[in-house]
Structure 1
Amino acid sequence: MVAPLATPTVEEVPFADLHDKERLEVRTADGWTLVITRYKPRPQPFTQPVFGQPMLLVHGFAQNRRTWTSGDFVKNMLFFGLDLFILELRGHGKSSISLQRRRARLRGEPPPAGVDYGWDIDDYFLYDVPAAVAKVREVSGHERIFYCGHSMGGILGYGYAGLHPEDLAGLVTIGAPSNLGRGFWPLRLVAYSEGALFSGIDAVLTALNALRSARYEARRLAARLRGRRLLEPPPTPLRFDHVPMDVILKELSHLLTDERYAKLVELAPYLTILVNPERATAEDVRWLLREGADREPRRVLEQFARWIRNDELICYRTGFDFRRAYEKITIPLAIIFGDRDLLAGMEETREVYYRAQSDYLLWRPVKGNSHVELTMGRDLRQICYDIKNLVEYAIGHEKKRPSLPRRGEA
């Protein structure tokens, strides 16, 4: 009798053997073209407990697909058999502004509205996420899909699950606050000073534009007096319409030498803000800083600041209240966060845990983790098992009523 083959570890299976990669495009209702990168699982000679189950992955603020690919998150999920669809929100990664202009030229149309950093979080919620969910449902052939969001991507997931639970089989949020800034006072300080800070930046840029314009006019006059024509075009006005996180974090990656990273590791027990260097390698953090950041519009920051000041999570265009809709979340829900995360720790995720009506409800801190390393750090394996367990539960109980009544039921 031939003994069955032992299941290999995820490290023993080459990443390339686990998937086929596809590029998908979807057009939103307001005319943007978004790119979704699909990692389609290949059948393996070992058991893949959730093979073929579609999961949409949505990144956070100023990030892109590298949120999920900078570590082994994708590989671990493929090992279990998940069919992964990584969405890049408008203006991020492959869903770039330049792509919108190219597609508009091919169609003989003007670029979509707001293409020059004129969008906000409402656009992500009202257009990008619904278009991506519909595309994944169409391509996968599944009526209901799984959603996994990191940080801002998780906030969008809370809202979508409360508004369209019929589209989702389960929701996983990683480092996603359900009540912004509740326990992190520096974030509230920035939110309350946002108006003065941004007005100050606008005033400085107005002065610089006036100075540059005056210098240009002086050069033009001097050229005319010499009987010549100034060939250089007038200066393009400077505008504060976005935050160049890609430039800022790329510069930071150059400064983050191995020696400096080792110093941060020494300080980690006393000071951790967005990443705990003890739980991620210097190489992975540098790569994420260099490749995983994108520019974020000013209007997105303004909406975040308004949410924090008013202690709310609202889609201002429709009036939809994310927090009031937590009670409408009935699908399996896993809320995963770092116990040292100052943006989305226990205090900031507490509300959705207590108000959601899910039969399967996991509220789990990851020991020693902060915010960034949750999708690429040393403790990734246990997070991926939590996600796999939720998917297994959902597909095993899809048409079954719970054996015990829900809270509030007789």
Structure 2
Amino acid sequence: MRTKHSYTEAIDGQQTVEYYRHLHEVRTKDGMKLVMTQKIPVNQKPKASVMLVHGLGQNRYTWTQTKRSFEHFLVANGFQTFNVELRGHGMSRANGSEHPESFECYLNWDIPAFIEEITELSHDKKIFYIGHSLGATISYCIGADFQDKLAGIIGIAGPYNMGKGNPYMKALGQSLEGLKGIIPLHRILPETFYIDLIGLLASHGLELIDNDSFPIPVHVWYPESIERDILKERVRRGFDRTSLSVVSLLIEWTAKGRLFNSENNRDYEKHIEDIQIPFCFIAGNDDYVVSPEDVNEAYLKAGSNDKVFKIFGSKDTFPKFGHIDLISGKAAPANSWKYMLEWLDSRI
């Protein structure tokens, strides 16, 4: 399944980029047919390849909206991008892939298949990995296994000690984990967790919830940090579906303050110590979902000698950076985008 198109689309505001696009079907060793989108700058040999990995119940629209696109920003600066969609998400779901039975499906099957395919298509000895949220956490758990194929990792708001910096999130996780011990939720709830429905409802209620007086301690963006039309597109198109099993594991991580596998017999906290390649950790100071404290332990434990932890925003000044604002926010192009580009360029 391969198609090629030439597009001229927005980077931010009036800035545009021309690129070629290919859609690739990627088959995993357990039989899933996944999809990734490759974008190549026109009239320029790519200087490096970047793999973009979305987070929990998200899809390719994590990285691109009609009027603002970090993906297009990278292409405009000479990178070719591979925007992957994990099993059960976006075009991979449309192509027949099922939702993951467990978090380990991403680690054992999806990411290895994508890395192998990208390496083959790009002819690069090594590629860059950029993950947002759970996509960053995946790199904590599997990055050491692919150091021979990765030039470096950027983890954007990737939880390591979930809920450490947000007592509301920690309390919610502990409450839900306690509820799981009383009520067999897996027997009464559907296997699919419909985050896209949450996005649809949120898109109709932005007038109410997109302000700092609305009492939601787990906002996925800082109020009014994203233009209303861009925010509406982000939550409508970018919120997707996942499995209850993956959500359940995140609840357990939050409640227990540890990072482990579904069977609770493998400690991923040890795994990150073996990562020796360049690693850039990024957090938003006003991220209610994944606070800087949630990310900091990953930075401290990563084994790389070339590592950095960058926090955008501060409590007392604007602009503010929440969970998705680091990629889609008004201030992202001049701040987080610019920083990540400089980091990538210095490690090619």
Q: Same fold (TM over 0.5)?
A: yes
Between 1:385-394 and 1:312-321, the stretch displaced more is 312-321
2:190 match: 240
Supply the distance in 2 between the matched residues of 1:140 and 1:203 (Cα, whole angstroms). Answer: 41
Counterpart contact for 1:67–1:288, Cα < 8 Å: yes
Supply the distance in 2 between the matched residues of 1:27 and 1:317 (Cα, whole angstroms). Answer: 26
Structure number with higher strand proportion: 2
Q: Give the letter aligned to residue 64 of structure 1.
A: N
Counterpart contact for 1:272–1:340, Cα < 8 Å: no
Counterpart contact for 2:35–2:95, Cα < 8 Å: no
Counterpart contact for 1:268–1:276, Cα < 8 Å: no
How do residues 184-263 of structure 1 correspond to structure 2 at under 5 angstroms?
184-195=166-177, 197=179, 200=183, 239-257=189-207, 260=208
In the alignment, which of 291, 294, 313 is matched to residue 348 of structure 1? Answer: 294
1:125 match: 107
Counterpart contact for 2:102–2:262, Cα < 8 Å: no
Q: Give secondary structure in 2 for the equivalent of 1:130.
A: helix
CA distance 1:56–1:26, change in 2 (3 Å):
same
In the alignment, which of 142, 151, 171 is matched to residue 169 of structure 1? Answer: 151
Bigger radius of gyration among the two: 1
Q: Give secondary structure in 1 for the equivalent of 2:96.
A: helix
Is 2:34 the counterpart of 1:55? Answer: no
1:298 match: 244
Shift of 1:352: 1.9
1:33 match: 33
Shift of 1:200: 4.8
How many residues of Structure 1 are paired with residues of Structure 2 in the alignment?
A: 328
In the alignment, which of 302, 310, 331 is matched to residue 379 of structure 1? Answer: 331
TM-score, with length taken from structure 1:
0.73
TM-score, with length taken from structure 2:
0.86
In the alignment, which of 266, 275, 282 is matched to residue 336 of structure 1? Answer: 282
Counterpart contact for 2:142–2:271, Cα < 8 Å: no
Between 1:72-81 and 1:383-392, the stretch displaced more is 383-392
Q: Give the letter aligned to residue 156 of structure 2.
A: I
Between 1:340-349 and 1:62-71, the stretch displaced more is 340-349
Q: Give the letter aligned to residue 377 of structure 1.
A: G
2:165 match: 183
Q: Give the letter aligned to residue 384 of structure 1.
A: W
Unaligned runs of 5+ in 2: 1-10, 314-319
CA distance 1:195–1:269, change in 2 (3 Å):
closer
Q: Could you report, residue by residue, the CA deviation over 1:269-308 in whole angstroms, capped at 9, with x for unpaired residues?
A: 9977321123211111111111111122110111112223
Shift of 1:183: 1.9
Unaligned runs of 5+ in 1: 1-8, 102-114, 206-238, 396-410
Shift of 1:325: 2.1
Is 2:73 the counterpart of 1:76? Answer: yes
Q: Could you report, residue by residue, the CA deviation over 1:147-172 in whole angstroms, capped at 9, with x for unpaired residues?
A: 00000000001222223211210000
Q: Could you report, residue by residue, the CA deviation over 1:356-406 in whole angstroms, capped at 9, with x for unpaired residues?
A: 2333322111111110211111122222222222222222xxxxxxxxxxx
Supply the distance in 1 between the matched residues of 2:170 and 2:302 (Cα, whole angstroms). Answer: 26
1:236 match: none
> 4+ runs of 1 displaced by more than 6 Å?
268-272
RMSD (Å), alpha carbons: 2.7
2:96 match: 100
Supply the distance in 2 between the matched residues of 1:188 and 1:277 (Cα, whole angstroms). Answer: 21
